[in-house]
Amino acid sequence: MPELPDITVYLEALEQRVRGARLENARLTHPFLLRTVDPPLSALYGRKLVGLRRVGKRIAFGFEGDLWLVLHLMIAGRLHWFAAGAKKSGRVALAAFTFDTGVLTLTEAGTKRRAALHVFGSSAALAAHDPGGLEVLESPFEQFSARLTAENHTLKRALTDPRAFSGIGNAYSDEILHHAGLSPVALTQRLDGTSIRKLYDSIRHVLPDWTRRLRAAAGGEFPENVTAFRPDMAVHGRFGKPCPACGTAVQRIRYADNETNYCARCQTGGRLLADRALSRLLKSDWPKTVDELEKL
Q: Please give the Cα distance from 163 to 211 (Å, whole number).
A: 22
Q: Summarize the confidence of residues 142-153 as an average pLDDT.
A: 98
Q: 47-85 pLDDT, tens per residue?
A: 999 999 999 999 999 999 999 999 999 988 999 999 987
Mean pLDDT along residues 253-263: 86
Task: Give the pLDDT band of residue 256 (cuts 50, 70, 90).
Answer: low
Whole-structure pTM value: 0.91
Look at the domain 4-129 and name its fold. N-terminal domain of MutM-like DNA repair proteins (3.20.190)
Q: For residues 63 and 52, what is the distance between their CA atoms, to the nearest angstrom?
A: 9
Among residues 263, 247, 242, the alpha carbon closest in space to that of 179 is found at 263
Q: What would the mean pLDDT of 178-185 be, rounded to a whole number?
A: 97
Of 75, 18, 66, nearest to 39 by C-alpha is: 66
| pLDDT at residue 86 greater than cutoff 80 | no
Q: Where are the domains of the chain?
A: 4-129, 136-295
Lowest mean pLDDT among 39-48, 75-84, 119-128, 178-187: 75-84
Res 288: pLDDT? 54
Q: Same topology for domains 4-129 and 136-295, yes or no?
A: no
Query: What integer pLDDT is reported at residue 282 of this predicted model?
Result: 39
Where does the pLDDT of residue 274 fall: very low under 50, low under 70, confident under 90, or very high at 90 and above?
Answer: confident
Mean pLDDT estimate for the chain: 91
Summarize the confidence of residues 7-33 as an average pLDDT.
95
Handedness of CA 223, 228, 1, 196 (dihedral sign): negative
Of the candidate ranges 148-152, 225-229, 284-288, the one whose mean pLDDT is the lowest? 284-288
Q: Is the pLDDT of residue 189 over 60?
A: yes
Residue 285 has pLDDT above 60, yes or no: no
Q: How confident is the model at residue 90 (pLDDT cuts 50, 70, 90)?
A: low
Cis peptide before 287 (omega within 30 of 0): no
Alpha helices by DSSP H, listed for 114-251, are 123-129, 141-148, 155-160, 170-180, 193-218
- The yes or no reply on domain 136-295 and CATH 1.10.8.50 is yes
pLDDT higher than 60, residue 259: yes
Q: How confident is the model at residue 89 (pLDDT cuts 50, 70, 90)?
A: low
Position 246: which residue type? C
Dist. CA 63–CA 46, nearest whole Å: 10
